[in-house]
Structure 1
Amino acid sequence: MKVTAIVGRETDFPNHQCDELRLESDDLARRVFRKRTAAGRELKVSLPRNTILRPGDVLLEDGGVIVVVRVEPEWVLAIYPASFEQIAQVGHQLGNRHIPIQIYENEILVAYHPLLESLFQGMDIECARVLRTLEQPFLHIFAPHMH
């Protein structure tokens, strides 16, 4: 089945059965892909440019059944800077490596890599490898620049 738009949110269809489309967080930023749902429906997804999927988005409504986006949990590195100095150090290290981040109230998340974990541990900056279900992808912002 072809999908060309998000048709709503899961809460918009309270009396429908759900068929899950399980995605990795990086897939949320993909516009064109083919995947099978949990019930075996093959979807050919071709979304408008700049569309970012979110967990709970409905991609298809078909006879009382909706196809809902779900995100698989993944390992990330949660970083917990304890001071402004540590925040600056983390920002410098991640920015210098062009690593996409997600910032929350008490933590900074990055895709897990053991070298980053080792780097921050060596700087005495608290961090932990944690399993999370992300609400958004790690987005790369490509902008030309020079060092």
Structure 2
Amino acid sequence: MIRATRVLRRDDLSGGEIVDRVVLDHGDRHRRRVAMRGLGGTGFLLDLPEATVLDDGDALVLEDGRLVWVEAAPERLLEIRAPSEHALRRLIWHIGNRHIPAEIGVDAVWIADDHVLAEMVRGLGGSAEAVERPFRPEGGAYAGGHAHGHGHAHDHDHAPGGHHHHAGA
């Protein structure tokens, strides 16, 4: 089976024959090694040196130089808005405090659809509407967006300005 051994970032794409495309949701775009099949039927082994977040518009480079386009799949998300810039910043703080992936726009934030977080946002004066669109969350300070520097991912609340500790941290 032909292998894809590197990623060409969308900003670096120049030339190259795009022979197929894969459409992946947010979770499936964080990969190192997995068998894949493009929508056009091209089968290949993604075989990267380390786990990598594939971004919408990137291309996977096959061993023979051909390219497979990466496209972000539409997902069910919450689009969060607030009545003011300050109120949106406050909502972003509360969302970030839960360590969940978030895509931050100029006047909205998108997170995975979650009824508990939707109620929290509404309780804090924001709006949370279900939408379907590609999800492109921030990579995070430690890359990948799945963990946040402690070597694991988790979901819990922290008091405003508070600290939390983990064994071995």
Bucket of the pairwise TM-score, normalised by the shorter protein: 0.7 to 0.9
The Cα of 1:137 is off from its aligned counterpart by: 6.8
Query: What SS is found at the alignment partner of 2:111?
Result: strand
Q: What percentage of aligned pairs have identical amino acids?
A: 27
For 1:92 and 1:41, locate their aligned partners in 2 and report how far apart those are by CA, in whole Å. Answer: 43
Count of paired positions: 146
Query: What SS is found at the alignment partner of 1:31?
Result: strand
The answer for unaligned runs of 5 or more in structure 1 is: none
Task: Tell me the TM-score normalized by structure 2.
Answer: 0.69
For 1:101 and 1:131, locate their aligned partners in 2 and report how far apart those are by CA, in whole Å. Answer: 15
Contact 2:104 2:138 survives alignment (8 Å): no
Q: What residue in structure 1 maps to residue 49 of structure 2?
A: 48
The Cα of 1:121 is off from its aligned counterpart by: 2.1
Contact 2:56 2:72 survives alignment (8 Å): yes
For 2:4 and 2:18, locate their aligned partners in 1 and report how far apart those are by CA, in whole Å. Answer: 18
Task: Compare the two structures and name the one with the higher helix fraction.
Answer: 1
Over residues 16-59 of structure 1, what are the superposed CA-to-partner deviations in whole Å (9 max), with x where a residue is unaligned? 45411121122222222221111222221122335322222221
Task: Tell me the TM-score normalized by structure 1.
Answer: 0.78
The answer for unaligned runs of 5 or more in structure 2 is: 140-144, 151-162
Contact 2:88 2:108 survives alignment (8 Å): no
Over residues 59-115 of structure 1, what are the superposed CA-to-partner deviations in whole Å (9 max), with x where a residue is unaligned? 135889632111211111111122355235413432332222221111111111122
Identify if the C-alpha distance between structure 1 residues 37 and 121 changes in structure 2 by more than 3 Å, giving closer, same or farther. Answer: same
Q: What residue in structure 2 maps to residue 69 of structure 1?
A: 70
Matches within 5 A, 1:59-98: 59-60=60-61, 66-83=67-84, 85-98=86-99
Q: What residue in structure 2 maps to residue 146 of structure 1?
A: 164
Whichever residue aligns with residue 19 of structure 1, its letter is D
Query: What SS is found at the alignment partner of 2:52?
Result: coil
